[in-house]
Structures are given as C-alpha cells and as structure tokens.
Amino acid sequence: MNAQSTATAVATPVAAPELVPGRGDLSGAVVEALRTGRAPDVATAAVLKADPWGEDLQLALYLLYELHYRGFAGVEDDREWDPDLLRLRQGLEARFLHALRTDLADAPRSVTEAFAPLLVEPVDLSGSLSHHLATEGELWHLREYAALRSLYHLKEADPHVWVVPRLTGRAKAAMVAIEYDEFGAGRPERIHARLFADLMADLGLETAYGRYVDQAPAPLLAVVNLMSLFGLHRALRGALVGHFACVEVTSSPGSRRLAEAMRRCGAGPAAEHFYAEHVEADAVHEQVVRHEVIGGLLADEPDLEADVAFGCAATVLLEDRLADHIRTEWEAGRSALRTPLADGERP
C-alpha cells in the first residue's frame, strides 16, 4: 500500500451503526433509553419472566453489548458505563447464563471430554450446515449465511482480546500470537474482518458494520452475545478460552467446505479467499490454542477446567441451535433472515 492509499484509508470516516427497532418490551426499552439518554423503563418482573432464547431478550443484550464495541449513531459514548443500563444488562445476562447452564447440566466438565468429539471429523456430515452449503447450497443461501455471520465476522477476534490481560505467561503469549494473525499480522488489508467485508462485497451485500442486525434472528444474536458475555466478565475467562478453542478446532474443516461452496457457486475470489485463508491458519491456531492457551491457563489456574469445558459446550449448543434454525427455514423454502435480502434471488 503506497502513502497516498494509506492516507486515504486513514481519512475515511467510520460510521457508527444505526439503532434498530425493538422486538418487545425489553429491547424496546433499551432502544428508547439509548435514543433519549434516559434510564430504561423495565420492571424487574419483565426480566425474570423473559424467554432467554427469545428475540426480545437477545436483541436487548446485543444492543447493550454493542456499547462496548462501536456504539450507535446518536448515542453518547459514555452510555457504555451508564449504571442503569449495566443494571439491566446484568439481569438479562443472568437469564441467559442460567438457561445455558440448565441446558448444559449434563455436559462434560473436563477439557478432554469436551473437546474429544470435535477432534474427529464425523463420518456422517448430513447434519452439517457447511456440508449442506458445499454440496447443495445455492448462491442465495451463501448470501444469507454471510449476512448472518457478518454480525461477528466484521468484528472478528475483537471479543477474545478482552481475555488477554486476564492471562499470564505461556497462555498470554500464545493468545496474542493467534490474535496477531487474526488482525492481519500488521497488514490492515489482511485483517480478517476486512477480508470478510471483501467476501460480502463479492456476494453483493452491504459491508457496513451492523448492517444486518435488524434481519438477524435470535439464534444468531445468541451466538454473538455468548462471546461478549464471556469476554466482558473476568469471572468467565475460562469459558471464553473454551469458546475460542472450540471455534478454532472446528474452523478448519468447516472453512474448507465453505470455500468449496463459494467456488462451486461462483461467489467470487474474495468470497472464496476468506474461507481458504482460514483452512490453513486455523489448523495451526487449533494446535496452539489447545496446547498453549488452554494448557498454559490450566497450568496457572487448574480450577478453571470446568469453565473451559463449559465454554466449549455452550459454543456447540448455540451453533447447533443456529444451524437447526437455518436448515429448518431453508428446507421450508423460507429465508433464514427475519426479512429476506432485498436483492436476493430467493426465496
């Protein structure tokens, strides 16, 4: 990149995303509070009876978490630490975390048991969403999938950075080495979030951060919220490491199938490149995160093993819920988004 293009890139303003409409009393109150600068008008009883997997609670959490990332247009930066918003977030998190722990009451509590099923490629891939996309997916499926995944991939690796100051020695060094790759190894054009934006452009999607929040259903919001939940709480540092390791362990084979899907459907070189890049990189990262990040963390804090296992199990649970939602909608001939893409070929 020459000096002129660098100057142009630096001068380009980054717009904060727009607030989206609420989907119920909780998220509606959050939107109103952010727009007006007032405290959210939410009764404690409403939080306690809210569906932890529902559209309303998951959107409310997402909006509150985004204050720690890029915020929203027209919302003051200091709302990130507004005590009333934090109090509401704490109640919503408690509902979400309780639901996760309840559903995972019988999940493995050791790292070996939690990761063992993920280290072997299953013989039967019929339930795999990436296999479906690689073998049967159409271009409109890929466009919807990318729009959904953009809520995380346009800030890829950002939630995991929060764990770095909570690690020491071997675990910290390994985690920073992996994150260095995720953030382009010093080259802005190779930051993974930038590569995903290029993928979206190849697919004819808008690349603005947060553009597809309003179309994202609760199962997708829950996947993204899980990272923020783990990342923002020091007490859940072990769970964040477990989540990160799970993502890295499962990324390489899934990325290989998604690269095949992009190539088969003629999605474009940038679309294929994003996943091709992850095949080799994440195969290396998987070894580092399991042996050095997890190994180093548990050498320093062995009492966190059950938390690491929980983070892995929670990731699998929510990814399975998302895949089930997407497959169910597609098999019924419907969009997996809350509203179809305006310029999509189907449905």
Q: Which of 246, 239, 249 is nearest to 306 (CA)?
A: 239
Check whether residue 136 and residue 56 sit in a common domain.
no
Print the domain residue range for 41.
11-103
CA angle 35, 39, 42 (to 5 degrees): 105
Q: What is d(CA 318, CA 217) in angstroms, rounded to the nearest whole number?
A: 13
Residue type, 280: E
The total number of structural domains that make up the chain: 2
Predicted pLDDT at 5 = 39
Q: Which of 40, 36, 39 is nearest to 74 (CA)?
A: 36
C-beta neighbour count of 326 within 10 angstroms: 23
Is 347 among the domain residues? no
Predicted pLDDT at 3 = 40
Q: Which of 98, 99, 19, 25 is nearest to 63 (CA)?
A: 19
Check whether residue 95 and residue 187 sit in a common domain.
no
Check whether residue 132 and residue 232 sit in a common domain.
yes
Check whether residue 75 and residue 166 sit in a common domain.
no
Check whether residue 173 and residue 228 sit in a common domain.
yes
C-beta neighbour count of 260 within 10 angstroms: 19
Check whether residue 17 and residue 71 sit in a common domain.
yes
> What's the whole-model pTM score?
0.94
Check whether residue 83 and residue 156 sit in a common domain.
no
Is 337 among the domain residues? no
Q: What is d(CA 220, CA 337) in angstroms, rounded to the nearest whole number?
A: 10
Is 338 among the domain residues? no
Domain end point (choices 80, 103, 126): 103
Is 236 among the domain residues? yes
Check whether residue 84 and residue 159 sit in a common domain.
no
Q: What is d(CA 76, CA 37) in angstroms, rounded to the nearest whole number?
A: 8
Predicted pLDDT at 251 = 86
Is 256 among the domain residues? yes
Is 336 among the domain residues? no
117, 236, 239, 288 from 303: Cα distances, Å:
23, 12, 12, 21
Check whether residue 99 and residue 115 sit in a common domain.
no
Predicted pLDDT at 282 = 66
Is 61 among the domain residues? yes
Domain end point (choices 103, 122, 145): 103
Q: What is d(CA 37, CA 330) in angstroms, rounded to the nearest whole number?
A: 40
Is 343 among the domain residues? no
Check whether residue 186 and residue 285 sit in a common domain.
yes
Predicted pLDDT at 346 = 52
Domain end point (choices 103, 121, 147): 103
Check whether residue 271 and residue 318 sit in a common domain.
yes
Residues of the chain with pLDDT under 70: 1-13, 123-124, 282, 344-347
CATH of the domain at 237: 1.20.910.10
